[in-house]
Amino acid sequence: MASRKKIIAVVGATGAQGGGLVQALLEDGTFAVRAITRNVKSEKAKALAASGVEVVAGNLDDLGSMKQAFEGAYGAFCVTNFWEHFSAEKEQAQVRVMADAARAAGVKHVIWSTLEDTRKWVPLADDHLPTLGGKWKVPHFDGKGAADHVWSDLGVPTTFLLTSFYWENFIYFGMGPKKNADGTLSITMPMGDRKLPGIAAGDIGACAYGIFKAGGEYIGKTVGIAGDHVTGDDMAKAFSKAMGKKVVYHAMEPAAYRALGFPGADDLGNMFQFYRDFNDDFVKARSVDRTRKLNPKLQSFQQWLDANARKIPMA
């Protein structure tokens, strides 16, 4: 007999955010889980199917496939992956597809994984942050934030989930401690002495699960999440403790960071400068206490680091 559980359809189920939600949904068992992927035959998709998840094909560039993927779902978790193509315009087109599909399928609750449109703080004409791609300040933030209205315009019941910097960037994004010429270790972030709201990537999905579990309470609301608010010095201290070696924080200037030249350096340099210069607003939007109510197992930076330090590559 078919399951009578409400279905949560998860975009990005094979990735960090959606994968955390799938895990939380499976542990709880209240909802049925539908994982959406472009490739149902990938190893990750097969592992999801083996754990009892319904795995369906869906591509954010193809409206028909997303309508089918959302059909019959009560809830949908929606995320885009800027770092696959570096195009805020493409992210926006994908939001439009997801919103149209959710509306057509009559989805009752969408969680949209978003970030601030930083141009509300720094208008394009203000060159305190350089304009990128002709119309963005922090492209991977702005494209998401500027697409928030699409959900409301279409009348899709939506929670706007403001996510935070993943602690995993220290493992997978090349941000871990680097060896200096004198043998000392340092982490580099151009955000002066201000606080970074961050989170373990898997905790994002667990928070999304908490939002679905709360029924309609968060529909129409913006919910900012973080597992900790830490300065560069706080992080360096935590690294020193976890690695048993002294690590110091190097507060590079944002312009120097933008000039590092790796793909996305300008976007990230602007992002850190935004964190630094509008820190009160950015931190206030992400209460750790409120996040812990959604996800009681939320990890602080030190807790995450103690469990993961051995995975951090050293350059």
Residues in contact with ligand NAP by CB under 6 A are 11-18, 37-39, 42, 58-61, 79-84, 140, 163, 165-166, 169
Give whichever of 42 and 51 is closer to ligand NAP, judged by the CB atom: 42
CB of 117 to ligand NAP, least distance (A): 13
Give whichever of 129 and 268 is closer to ligand NAP, judged by the CB atom: 268
Give whichever of 14 and 118 is closer to ligand NAP, judged by the CB atom: 14
CB of 115 to ligand NAP, least distance (A): 6
Give whichever of 143 and 254 is closer to ligand NAP, judged by the CB atom: 143
CB of 41 to ligand NAP, least distance (A): 10
CB of 4 to ligand NAP, least distance (A): 27
Give whichever of 245 and 303 is closer to ligand NAP, judged by the CB atom: 303
Nearest residue by C-beta to ligand NAP?
A: 15
Give whichever of 61 and 217 is closer to ligand NAP, judged by the CB atom: 61
CB atoms within 10 A of CB 199: 29
CB of 90 to ligand NAP, least distance (A): 9
CB of 166 to ligand NAP, least distance (A): 4
